[in-house]
Structure 1
Amino acid sequence: MSIIEAIIFGIVQGLTEFLPVSSTAHIVITQLLFGYTFPGLSFEIFLHFASILAVILYFHKDIWNVVAGFIKYITTRDHHYRVSFFFALYIIGATFITGILGMLLSDMIADTMKTPQMIAGALTVTGIALIVIERFHSYGSRRTEDMSFIDAIIVGLGQTLAVIPGISRSGATLVVALLAGLDRETAVRYSFLLAIPVILGSSVLTFDDMSTGFFQEVGIIPLALSFIVTVVFSWIGIVWLISFLKKSRLVYFAIYCFILAVCVYLFIEPITIMELEES
């Protein structure tokens, strides 16, 4: 892998991981453009760790408050930490639901849904969902202190849809959280913090795909560079999305998903994606 390609992969992963546009679809498309095949899921796992590092760095105060509040509520039963305690439980609950259902569905998804038609269809569904939540649903006003386990169940189920290539994890969690009546700020915060255990968990489950041969094949310098670039652009993506959602609309992401779906359907051959996945 060249230095330029490493930078481009890092930019694509970083910008699309947390935007509601499906980072998986973008990484597959980028591989096709460069004619690259990676062994198993090694490269995706590697870049996912970089994206999660950016989330941890950006939300480190939130993470500390939730973890500290969770522990302090258990040890002191101080009502002041009750919201943090239950918010941690909502993250754990949604992650558990996604993890169990994701493992049950992963084999079926891997065998039947990684085709251009399915990816294009999933991107279209993502776009439609974003338009529906933007145009036909009133935003809620419920904040962290108003959440319940019902919200965790709904978001966990919605997040499970992201096992389908082309369905955005961040898009799915945002849409279902907003449908459940959470306000934008709470929905975005919940979505980002949920990314940490979900992506780390899925990466650990596929960690066997990481091999010494992978590092030798791609190259240490390109890998290190793509990791750094992914962290930087994931940070940029987080900052930009939070700022964007405060003053603009999800419908612009929907339009982008529709355009990308058309491009995937028209220009990507089915056999090419299957070859990439089997490599």
Structure 2
Amino acid sequence: MTLTLFEAIVFGIVQGLTEFLPVSSTAHIVITQLVFGYTFPGLSFEIFLHIASVLAVMMYFWKDLWSVIKGFVLFILHRSKEHRTQFFFGVYILIATAITGGLGVMLNDFFGDAFKTPAVIAGALTITGLSLIFIERFHQYGQRKEEDMSVKDSIIVGLGQTLAVVPGISRSGATLVVALLAGLDRETAVRYSFLLSIPVILGSTVLAVGDFTADMVNHIGILNLFVSFIVTFIFSVIGIIWLISFLKKSRLIYFAIYCFVIAALVLLFIDPSTVMDV
């Protein structure tokens, strides 16, 4: 079955909007495939769209990214105190990424398609929703900033991010929740979560580079690939701006309600027999 231009646009919108909102982009991509009855050849197309999302993050947070990279390098070269915080912030990003990468590959290899069932997706979305409600309504936000972070924080966030290997567990939601639970203030938690997405997505791209073949391009179509990439980039930027705006107003509960609704729809309308083919 060949991907149509309309479907390519829809996949781009879905990936872009859900990648950084705490609603699980993986679950939405799986659900969208099931709705269209479409099966991608491997993970190449999904990873391709993720590249557009990570470019959006790098563009939006370029000052923060450059500050961390510059501070990391200058501290190694000169051991200057003014760059110490950014150096260790970069180290904490690398530690969390290493934990996520190692455990994520192990979990994905062990469980594989067992994750892609309506029950698992709905259950994971429900857990995501409950976590968002808890962190907003029942947990007092911390006051710790970048200079107060420790290796323990990076380990906790890395473990939380690993849970996103399960469709329905949001990567951005998991990292935000565990970072806030660890006592980081909201601004630091958000910045850490977004910058963490860069090495994680780029790492996934490297692992999936073998899937980028001429057959994949022909199967999806060059025009469809180009359009879906641009659409994903645009809606990723929209998603980033939208999430930051919501977090300033502390309205995570709306995302939680959305997760509950999608979980119910998955259980009611998705045929379990179609999932293992995705």
Match of 2:201 in 1: 199
Give SS of 1:175's match: helix
Q: Map 1:165-184 to 2 at 5 A.
A: 165-184=167-186
2:237 aligned residue (230, 235, 238): 235
Q: Map 1:119-268 to 2 at 5 A.
A: 119-268=121-270
Cα drift, residue 226 of structure 1:
0.4
Cα drift, residue 242 of structure 1:
0.7
Cα drift, residue 139 of structure 1:
0.5
Cα drift, residue 109 of structure 1:
2.6
Cα drift, residue 4 of structure 1:
2.0
Cα drift, residue 225 of structure 1:
0.5
Match of 1:73 in 2: 75
Percent of pairs with identical residues: 68
Cα drift, residue 111 of structure 1:
4.0
Q: Which amino acid aligns with 2:29?
A: I
Please say if residues 49 and 200 of structure 1, whose CA atoms lie closer than 8 Å, have aligned partners that are also in contact.
yes
Cα drift, residue 207 of structure 1:
2.1
2:48 aligned residue (31, 46, 49): 46
Q: How many residue pairs end up in the alignment?
A: 276
Task: Deviation per CA, 1:194-246: give whole Å up to 9, x if none.
Answer: 00001111221122222211111111111100000100110111111111110
Please say if residues 54 and 201 of structure 2, whose CA atoms lie closer than 8 Å, have aligned partners that are also in contact.
yes
Task: Deviation per CA, 1:111-146: give whole Å up to 9, x if none.
Answer: 422111011000011111111111111001111111
Please say if residues 109 and 163 of structure 1, whose CA atoms lie closer than 8 Å, have aligned partners that are also in contact.
no
Please say if residues 94 and 157 of structure 1, whose CA atoms lie closer than 8 Å, have aligned partners that are also in contact.
yes
Cα drift, residue 107 of structure 1:
1.4
Match of 1:101 in 2: 103
Please say if residues 15 and 236 of structure 1, whose CA atoms lie closer than 8 Å, have aligned partners that are also in contact.
yes
Task: Deviation per CA, 1:68-100: give whole Å up to 9, x if none.
Answer: 100101111110001100000000011111111
Task: Deviation per CA, 1:145-193: give whole Å up to 9, x if none.
Answer: 1111111011001001011111110010000000001111110110000
Aligned-partner Cα distance in 1 for 2:119–2:5: 32
Q: Which amino acid aligns with 2:57?
A: V
Q: Which amino acid aligns with 1:75?
A: L
Q: Which amino acid aligns with 1:5?
A: E
Give SS of 1:17's match: helix
Match of 1:32 in 2: 34
What TM-score does the superposition give when structure 1 sets the normalisation length?
A: 0.96
Please say if residues 126 and 259 of structure 2, whose CA atoms lie closer than 8 Å, have aligned partners that are also in contact.
yes
Match of 2:277 in 1: 275
Q: Which amino acid aligns with 1:188?
A: V
Aligned-partner Cα distance in 1 for 2:89–2:105: 24
Match of 1:19 in 2: 21
Aligned-partner Cα distance in 2 for 1:248–1:6: 33
Please say if residues 52 and 199 of structure 1, whose CA atoms lie closer than 8 Å, have aligned partners that are also in contact.
yes
Q: Which amino acid aligns with 2:193?
A: S
Aligned-partner Cα distance in 2 for 1:20–1:48: 16
Cα drift, residue 8 of structure 1:
1.3
Aligned-partner Cα distance in 2 for 1:111–1:5: 23
1:62 to 2:81 alignment: no
Aligned-partner Cα distance in 2 for 1:158–1:248: 21
Give SS of 1:142's match: coil
Give SS of 1:36's match: coil
